[in-house]
Amino acid sequence: MHRYKVLLLSRAMVIVMLVPVAPASAEWFADLYLGDAFTQSHDIKIRNNATATATVRPLDVNFQSVHFNSSVTGGGRAGYWFQSLPYLGLGLDVSHFQPDVDSQNVELHALGTDRSIPASFAGLDLSVTTLSFDLMLREPLLKTPEFPTGRLQPYLTVGPAVFFARASGTTFVPSRQSATDTALGVKTGAGLAWQFHKHIAIFAEYRFTHCHPTFTFTDVFPPTGEPIRDKVSSDIDTHYVIGGVSVRF
């Protein structure tokens, strides 16, 4: 799986590098933004490959419809719009959010059973940094000689993304462990920019990201002290509402 992720990331980077370098006369931009991130509720799966003993049992369970907290998000994006194709652009975007999971009561479904039972999920602290490679499309509106690409610019973005995720919690022994994962996913968005100055615009944007990180923790079971690797995974589907300032040059 790790080799598969590295291969996909390498191909994405090669595609970006093969895109012709923008000419000096292209419209370059740099964005800074801040907003809110809302991560959808989703199942969290925990499984291990333990061999059944008197004290240890194989584990394959789903905590169902776990609630993720909303979070402040912020970041920056840089790129350019092609001069010959002013509706087409490329961008590189970096952002961060923290969709923590508080302790909560949910339904638990174990593999091999046909029903769910009430259970308590201890919670996780999550931190996610996103690096995305954006293909951007815009519609230049309200053109003037001073603003040949339009004062009003609705736009769309889509592209592959790399998610650098970190999780920590009290579920496993020893407590307060942390684990990291690098997951591939996707980012899409739609926004509206208003260029009120030759070099400055403000914008509002909705975006959506999807990734599926897997974190590996270690449980130590007494009295044998046998270490068991527990894999914790979930989809992280997040909606964002952001606003920011764009510098054009």
- pLDDT digits over 124-159, tens only? 999 999 999 999 999 999 999 999 999 999 999 999
- The pLDDT, as a whole number, for residue 15 is 45
Comparison of pLDDT for 84 and 132, the residue scoring more: 132
Alpha-carbon dihedral 64, 70, 74, 79, rounded to 10 degrees: 50
Burial of 153 (0-12, 13-18, 19+ CB in 10 A): buried
Residue 14 confidence (pLDDT): 46
User: pLDDT value at position 9?
Assistant: 52
User: For the chain, what percent of residues have pLDDT higher than 70?
Assistant: 82
Per the prediction, the chain carries an average pLDDT of 87
CA angle at 98 for the pair 95 and 104, rounded to the nearest 5°: 155
Q: Which position has the higher pLDDT, 19 or 161?
A: 161
Residues facing 107 on adjacent strands: 64, 118
Domain ranges of the chain: 26-40+75-101+124-248
Average pLDDT for residues 27-34, to the nearest whole number?
97
DSSP letter (8 states) at residue 78: E
Q: How many CB atoms lie within 10 A of CB 27?
A: 16
pLDDT at residue 49 above 50? yes
End-to-end CA distance of the chain: 42
Instruction: Report the alpha-carbon distance of residue 160 to residue 91 in Å, rounded.
Output: 11
Fold adopted by 26-40+75-101+124-248 = Porin (2.40.160)
Q: Is the pLDDT of residue 2 over 60?
A: no
CA distance 224 to 229: 15
The stretches of the chain forming alpha helices (DSSP H) are 2-18
Q: Check residue 51 and give its pLDDT.
A: 61
- Phi, psi for 98 (deg, rounded to 5): -135, 90
What's residue 52's pLDDT?
A: 56
What pLDDT, on the 0 to 100 scale, is given for residue 53?
55
pLDDT of 243 strictly over 70: yes
Flag whether pLDDT at 99 surpasses 70.
Answer: yes
Q: What is the structure's pLDDT at 95?
A: 98
